[in-house]
Amino acid sequence: MKKVHWVPNDLNVIIGPNGAGKSNLLRFLELMSISAQARLGKHIQYLGGMEPIVWDGQATRLVCQLKMLAVAEDVQQDTLSYELEMARLGKSSAYRIEQEKLTYDSQSKIGQTLVERARLNGWILDKTGQPLKAEEELVSEEESLLAIASEPFIANSLIYKFKRQLASWTIYHDIHIDRDAPIRQSVVTRTERRVDPDGQNLIAVLHTLYTENRDFRYDLNAAMQAAFGNEFEELLFPPAADQRTQLRVIWKSLKRGQSAAELSDGMLRFLLLLTIFASPSPASLIAIDEPEMGLHPSMLPVVAEYAVAATDKTQVILTTHSPQFLNAFTETRPTITIAMCDQGETHLKNLNAQALDYWLKEYSLGTLFTSGELEDLA
């Protein structure tokens, strides 16, 4: 992506041809979240350095800008704006952070700077409202000032809350569910309430929420029965060796439950999606690449229903190639974003809502998607 501007809503579905930049958008969101976790340097090294990140491997810098509603519930009209600029060092894979700025806009304070940095020189607004200079030897060229200088006992509360929100964003793509994947194995018994980006702690999260949270248990059972009928009975988590817990799916007609190792890929993905969407304390943003992958079409309305319900607690971003998945959104229509590529540049356009309303009087979203008409409405 060279220069992209996008305004998402609570529930977003991104469509477009292969290579248009849908997955790159999710990777950008992941990059921004990691920048708030003080592990940006290792992540960029894992990706192969700056060359595969910057546009066409040729751009000299990457500038990221975010604007979000202030996290305090009583000031929803206020916004926080964050900018992070990373400069590539020559033609190497290395980089340094050139500029960084977090500002707060409210009805009474326009453009109040909370964090500002130029290379190794920076300052933050402390709890008393005074600028606190960051000691240069503590500032890393590769890590954001936001990540390393926003502890609640030092920084202004808005800085800390913004960092916590950004760091919690969870992007799900390339989930490994092969027969030897950890997601299928028994796990050491421990309390976990949120599915990791790689999905491999699913059993630990299921065990915690299913056994401790009545609402989650009810929601998950209802979704499984909607997909598989009354044949589904419940989930069990019998102990395994060495203080470990395993997962078994219990069916009414079978004497023996199915272990996670025996579940089909589709059923395991279905359980993963349900756990993510039905979580009582989800990340502040959830993005999932092609959630329909490996699922029977009959499961898609259930996934869509739980994705819609999740927006009461979080922001949801989904990419898809499936007209059946688009058709699964009936009562609540998501914001549809078209990703297109022109001369190597990704463009994101939200569909025209009025034009879409007109077409949906006669056609479904899936039909419009298959016919190519949706692209014309952007």
pLDDT digits (tens, 9 = 90+) for 260-315: 999 999 999 999 999 999 999 999 999 999 999 999 999 999 999 999 999 999 99
The answer to whether residues 147 and 42 belong to one domain is yes
pLDDT at 359: 64
User: SS3 for 156?
Assistant: coil
Strands 315-319 and 285-289: parallel
Burial of 189 (0-12, 13-18, 19+ CB in 10 A): middle
Average pLDDT over residues 335-363: 78
pLDDT at 358: 63
Strand partners, 240: 244
Report the distance separating Cα 36 and Cα 145, nearest Å. Answer: 9
When mean pLDDT is compared across 105-119, 217-231, 253-267, 270-284, the lowest value belongs to 105-119
* pTM listed for this prediction: 0.91
pLDDT at 341: 82
Average pLDDT over residues 95-121: 89
pLDDT digits (tens, 9 = 90+) for 179-223: 999 999 999 888 999 999 999 999 999 999 999 999 999 999 999
pLDDT digits (tens, 9 = 90+) for 212-223: 999 999 999 999
> pLDDT category, 85, cuts 50, 70, 90?
very high
The answer to whether residues 82 and 154 belong to one domain is yes
The answer to whether residues 40 and 156 belong to one domain is yes
pLDDT at 28: 92
**Residue among 227, 223, 193, 225 nearest 207 (CA):** 193
The answer to whether residues 324 and 378 belong to one domain is yes
pLDDT at 1: 61
The answer to whether residues 185 and 293 belong to one domain is no
- Structural domain ending residue among the three candidates 122, 137, 169: 169
Question: Taking all residues of the chain, what is their mean pLDDT, rounded to a whole number?
Answer: 88
When mean pLDDT is compared across 99-103, 217-221, 345-349, the lowest value belongs to 345-349
Enumerate residues 6+ apart whose C-beta is below 8 A from 290: 319, 320, 321, 322
Supply 322's token pair: 């499936």
The answer to whether residues 151 and 269 belong to one domain is no
Report the distance separating Cα 39 and Cα 191, nearest Å. Answer: 24
For 93, the enclosing helix (H) or strand (E) is none
Question: Which tops the pLDDT comparison, 136 or 37?
Answer: 37
- Structural domain ending residue among the three candidates 265, 281, 297: 281
pLDDT at 376: 66
pLDDT at 204: 95
- Structural domain ending residue among the three candidates 147, 169, 191: 169
Domain span at residue 260 reads: 176-281
Among 89-98, 158-167, 285-294, name the most confident range.
Answer: 285-294
Report the percentage of the chain scoring pLDDT > 90: 58
Name the domain count of the chain: 3
The answer to whether residues 40 and 30 belong to one domain is no
What's the CA dihedral at 268, 270, 275, 277 to 10 degrees?
160
pLDDT at 342: 81
pLDDT at 349: 86
The answer to whether residues 159 and 184 belong to one domain is no
The answer to whether residues 41 and 148 belong to one domain is yes
The answer to whether residues 181 and 160 belong to one domain is no
Domain CATH for 287 = 3.40.50
The answer to whether residues 119 and 96 belong to one domain is yes
The answer to whether residues 129 and 234 belong to one domain is no
**Residue among 86, 81, 65, 59 nearest 5 (CA):** 65
Average pLDDT over residues 225-251: 92
pLDDT at 90: 87
